């Protein structure tokens, strides 16, 4: 007799979803994590970062208000007041998770877990057994082996800063680097963004990358493309950041953020004892999230799939359903949206133009519109928006939708069910939108 029908390792978005779903099937469930409930997203990722984005939005609104007749809209920003408010909200969220788990009958073990064999694990100072295990240990920031690298902060440290930096240098132009550069520049920091690529946001559609790259430059952020970090040397004057590539300068910064991506976190699990296979630095799984050990599943960012919170939650629910019902479920990744919370926002779903053209059996056409939203018509700010459709030329089925502009993340979600069902350009053209809005531009593209 096992102690639990299911032990979930990791109480982030994936693990919480799996534990709660499994409990609804009437199973005995425990979840083990030495850290706060909610994982990276709630405690040092998506949620606190979005609060910081909102804070920056208020600064932008103050500037925009002058164009609308507000004579003296400016105010004073208090970084510590924002930090305190965020911390209070996160504490409430963690308590909410604790209450939900208790109500569902899930046992919370506030310790790390390590495999002894496929069904036996040490959790803190005790040993537990489980019929099935779901690994949901997430990912951790990448810190390359370079001189002085420990002087650099990671994204989790940005939420604990005592004061706003005067000179913030960010290495890495993915969504974390792009979002933090936008936020801190808007809050008054001098920001330099270093990236090894020609344009920021690798993996996104080229037009999104180009538009947001230029937007950051227009905000006064110093972008240094095709440049890599070589070393960091601290002294009394600050951090001396040595670079290579297109720019071989040495920069001086008081704060350095390493936004070089994240890698699966498998530290301390002792996967070898459980017979769990690792491939290319991630836990290998099949379409149903099952590992090489039939009783052990892995979900979320510890696998080599889409590292997004909603995906992690979907994988958690699907794994529980596969384990405890006679209806195994796989997650489809074809129409998963993603967003970058800069100003303007960017949101995307489906194929980028490059991805679509890589399918040699498809003839591709592209419809793209760039415009200034009505909100900025009275403002001297050069705030551009973009809407782009990637289309199968033969069937006129829409393969990808990409939006840059205010509320892009909110706009794009309403299209996803129709896109999944084969939305065509003719159906878009026959749709009457709301006027005057930016979203109506989608219907006028074709």
101 with 25: CB under 8 angstroms?
A: no
Region class of 153: left (phi > 0), else alpha (psi between -120 and 50), else beta = beta
- H-helix segments, 105-174: none
> Is the pLDDT confidence value at 2 over 80?
yes
Residue 353, token pair as written in the block: 């133009």
Please report, for the domain that includes residue 405, its CATH number: 3.30.390.30
**What mean pLDDT comes out for the span 318-339?**
98
**What mean pLDDT comes out for the span 246-267?**
95
Confirm whether 336 is domain-assigned: no
* Same-domain status, 129 and 8: yes
Q: Give residue 269's pLDDT.
A: 98
Count CB neighbours of 276 within 10 A.
23
| CA neighbor of 266 nearest in space, from 162, 64, 114 | 114
Q: Give residue 218's pLDDT.
A: 94
Confirm whether 14 is domain-assigned: yes
Q: DSSP states of 121-177 as a string?
A: EEETTEEEEEEEEEE---EEE---S-TTGGGSB-GGGGGG-SS--SEEEEE--SHHH
Mean pLDDT in the chain? 96
Confirm whether 335 is domain-assigned: no
- What's the number of domains the chain is made of? 3
pLDDT by residue (tens digit) across 345-360? 999 999 999 999 999 8
Confirm whether 86 is domain-assigned: yes
| CA neighbor of 38 nearest in space, from 242, 312, 297, 276 | 312
221 with 342: CB under 8 angstroms?
A: no
φ and ψ at 285, to 5 degrees? -140, 160
* Same-domain status, 233 and 275: no
Q: Give residue 156's pLDDT.
A: 92
Confirm whether 168 is domain-assigned: yes
Q: Label residue 75 by pLDDT band (50, 70, 90).
A: confident
Confirm whether 337 is domain-assigned: no
366 burial class (0-12, 13-18, 19+ CB within 10 angstroms)?
middle
* Same-domain status, 32 and 131: yes
Rounded Cα gap, residues 223 and 209, in angstroms: 13
Rounded Cα gap, residues 25 and 321, in angstroms: 8
* Same-domain status, 302 and 364: no
Domain boundary among 260, 278, 303: 260
pLDDT by residue (tens digit) across 117-155? 999 999 999 999 999 999 999 999 999 999 999 999 999
| CA neighbor of 17 nearest in space, from 289, 269, 267, 299 | 299
Q: Label residue 308 by pLDDT band (50, 70, 90).
A: very high
Q: Give residue 290's pLDDT.
A: 98
Please report, for the domain that includes residue 221, its CATH number: 3.50.50.60
The lowest-confidence range among 14-23, 65-74, 132-141, 277-286 is: 65-74
Domain boundary among 260, 276, 305: 260
pLDDT by residue (tens digit) across 360-417? 899 999 999 999 999 999 988 778 899 999 999 999 999 999 999 999 999 999 999 9
* Same-domain status, 278 and 223: no
- Give the structural domain span for 33: 4-140+264-324
99 with 105: CB under 8 angstroms?
A: no
Which DSSP helix (H) or strand (E) runs through 410? helix 408-413
* Same-domain status, 284 and 393: no
Q: Label residue 1 by pLDDT band (50, 70, 90).
A: confident
136 with 285: CB under 8 angstroms?
A: no
Q: Label residue 63 by pLDDT band (50, 70, 90).
A: confident
* Same-domain status, 135 and 269: yes
Rounded Cα gap, residues 149 and 349, in angstroms: 35
* Same-domain status, 88 and 185: no
Confirm whether 334 is domain-assigned: no
Q: Give residue 363's pLDDT.
A: 96
Q: What is the pTM of this model?
A: 0.95
In this prediction, what percent of the chain has a pLDDT beyond 90? 95
**What mean pLDDT comes out for the span 72-83?**
88
pLDDT by residue (tens digit) across 176-196? 999 999 999 999 999 999 999
* Same-domain status, 22 and 118: yes
Which DSSP helix (H) or strand (E) runs through 113? strand 113-117
209 with 160: CB under 8 angstroms?
A: no
> Is the pLDDT confidence value at 73 over 80?
no
Only one residue has tokens 């405690």, namely 43
Confirm whether 330 is domain-assigned: no
Which DSSP helix (H) or strand (E) runs through 193? strand 190-194
Q: Give residue 429's pLDDT.
A: 94
Q: Give residue 76's pLDDT.
A: 86
* Same-domain status, 207 and 274: no
Rounded Cα gap, residues 367 and 245, in angstroms: 36
- Which are the catalytic amino acids? 435
Q: Give residue 122's pLDDT.
A: 98
Q: Label residue 214 by pLDDT band (50, 70, 90).
A: very high
* Same-domain status, 168 and 244: yes
Domain boundary among 242, 260, 278: 260
- DSSP code for 384: -
Only one residue has tokens 């040092």, namely 44
* Same-domain status, 300 and 437: no
- DSSP code for 106: P
């Amino acid at each position: 007799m096992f102690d639990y029908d299911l032990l979930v390792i990791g109480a982030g978005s994936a693990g919480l979803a799996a534990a709660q779903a499994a409990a609804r099937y009437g199973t005995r469930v425990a979840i083990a994590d030495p850290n706060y409930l909610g994982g990276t997203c709630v405690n040092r990722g998506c949620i606190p970062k979005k609060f910081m984005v909102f804070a920056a939005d208020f600064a932008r609104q103050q500037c925009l208000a002058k164009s609308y007749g507000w004579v003296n809209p400016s105010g004073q920003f208090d970084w510590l007041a924002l930090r305190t408010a965020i911390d209070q909200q996160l504490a409430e969220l963690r308590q909410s998770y604790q209450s939900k788990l208790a109500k569902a009958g899930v046992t919370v073990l506030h310790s790390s877990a390590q495999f002894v064999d496929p069904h036996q694990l040490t959790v803190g100072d005790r040993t537990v057994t489980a019929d099935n295990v779901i690994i949901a240990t997430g990912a951790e920031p990448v810190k390359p082996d370079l001189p002085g690298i420990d002087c650099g902060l990671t994204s989790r440290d940005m939420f604990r800063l005592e004061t706003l930096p005067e000179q913030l240098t960010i290495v890495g132009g993915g969504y974390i680097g792009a979002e933090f550069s936008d936020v801190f520049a808007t809050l008054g920091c001098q920001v330099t963004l270093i990236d090894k690529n020609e344009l920021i946001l690798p993996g996104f559609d080229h037009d999104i990358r180009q538009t947001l790259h230029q937007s950051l430059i227009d905000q006064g952020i110093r972008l240094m493309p095709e440049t890599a970090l070589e070393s960091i040397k601290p002294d009394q004057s600050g951090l001396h950041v040595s670079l290579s590539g297109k720019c071989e300068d040495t920069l001086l910064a008081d704060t350095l953020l390493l936004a070089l991506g994240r890698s699966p976190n498998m530290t301390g699990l002792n996967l070898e004892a459980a017979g769990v296979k690792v491939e290319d630095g991630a836990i290998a799984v099949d379409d149903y999230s099952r590992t090489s050990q039939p009783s052990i599943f892995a979900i979320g960012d510890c696998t080599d799939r889409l590292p997004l919170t909603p995906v992690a939650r979907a994988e958690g629910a699907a794994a529980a359903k596969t384990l405890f019902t006679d209806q195994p479920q796989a997650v489809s990744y074809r129409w998963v949206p993603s967003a970058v919370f800069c100003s303007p926002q960017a949101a995307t779903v489906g194929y980028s133009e490059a991805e679509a053209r890589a399918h040699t059996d498809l003839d591709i056409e592209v419809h793209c519109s760039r415009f200034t939203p009505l909100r900025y018509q009275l403002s001297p700010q050069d705030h551009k928006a973009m809407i782009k459709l990637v289309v199968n030329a033969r069937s006129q089925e829409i393969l990808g939708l990409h939006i840059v502009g205010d509320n892009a993340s909110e706009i794009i979600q309403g299209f996803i069910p129709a896109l999944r069902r084969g939305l065509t350009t003719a159906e878009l053209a026959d749709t009457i939108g709301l006027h005057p809005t930016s979203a109506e531009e989608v219907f006028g593209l074709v």
